[in-house]
Chains A and B, each alone.
Chain A
Amino acid sequence: MAARLAPVAKFLIKGGLAGAAVYVAYDQGLLGSGTQGAEALKKAQAALPPVIQEWTSYLGWELPPTPKFDFSPSDSWNKGVQSVMSALSVAPTRACEYTVEGWKYVKDLVK
């Protein structure tokens, strides 16, 4: 009787653990819409540094302060595009200047 019940009990415990994991993920908004996912990430970013601080103080480690991860990918991308475009726009002028300087340096060497 017990031998037959053991696999069933094992399966029920495993199923319960897996179901609980899925439910927690759903409850935290990890499996919902894009807005919910972004909110969940913001909550995690806000909650992580105090937890790290608490654990490091409990273990007695000295860590530098955690850097802030709050950045906007679209802003960073746009800034990168602007930097690249402004560099490309001044590239011919700079190339001329460096060529003139290089030519002058070589002429001075040859003298």
Chain B
Amino acid sequence: MASEGELGRKWDRCVADSAVKLGAGFGLGIVFSVIFFKRKTWPIAFGSGMGLGMAYSNCQHDFQSPYLLHGKFVK
């Protein structure tokens, strides 16, 4: 598996995940706006922003994953 192929796959996953998280955050923002916040706009923006932030965090973790070491605490 070529490393540039793996990098391309990570970018594809990142873009797909960003689209999904943005959509989910937008949708949940609409739900909360309608149910709790009297159809104001800010929950929608907040939800979309949260979705984008979660996607950014996932992408960052995915790109950094070869360099992250998972240790185990041995007593």
Q: Does A72 contact B (CB under 8 A)?
A: yes
At the interface, is chain A mostly helix, strand, loop or mixed?
helix
B16–A17 touching, CB < 8 Å: no
Q: Does A87 contact B (CB under 8 A)?
A: no
Count residues of B near A (Cβ-Cβ below 8 Å): 27
Residues 3-40 of B at the A interface (beta carbon under 8 Å) = 7-9, 11-17, 19-21, 23-24, 27-28, 31-32, 35-36
Q: How far is the CA of A17 from the CA of B28 in the complex (A)?
A: 11
B24–A31 touching, CB < 8 Å: yes
**How far in angstroms is the closest Cβ of chain A from B2?**
12
B36–A38 touching, CB < 8 Å: no
Chain A residue at minimum C-beta to C-beta distance from B18? A37
Q: Does A73 contact B (CB under 8 A)?
A: yes
Q: Which residues of A contact B (CB under 8 A)?
A: 14, 17-18, 21-22, 25, 30-31, 33-35, 37-38, 40-42, 72-75, 77-78
Q: Does B55 contact A (CB under 8 A)?
A: yes
Most chain B CB atoms below 10 A, which of A40, A72, A73, A74: A74
12 A-B pairs besides A38-B12, A41-B19 with CB distance below 8 A are A18-B35, A18-B36, A21-B27, A30-B20, A30-B23, A31-B21, A34-B17, A37-B13, A37-B21, A73-B15, A74-B11, A78-B8
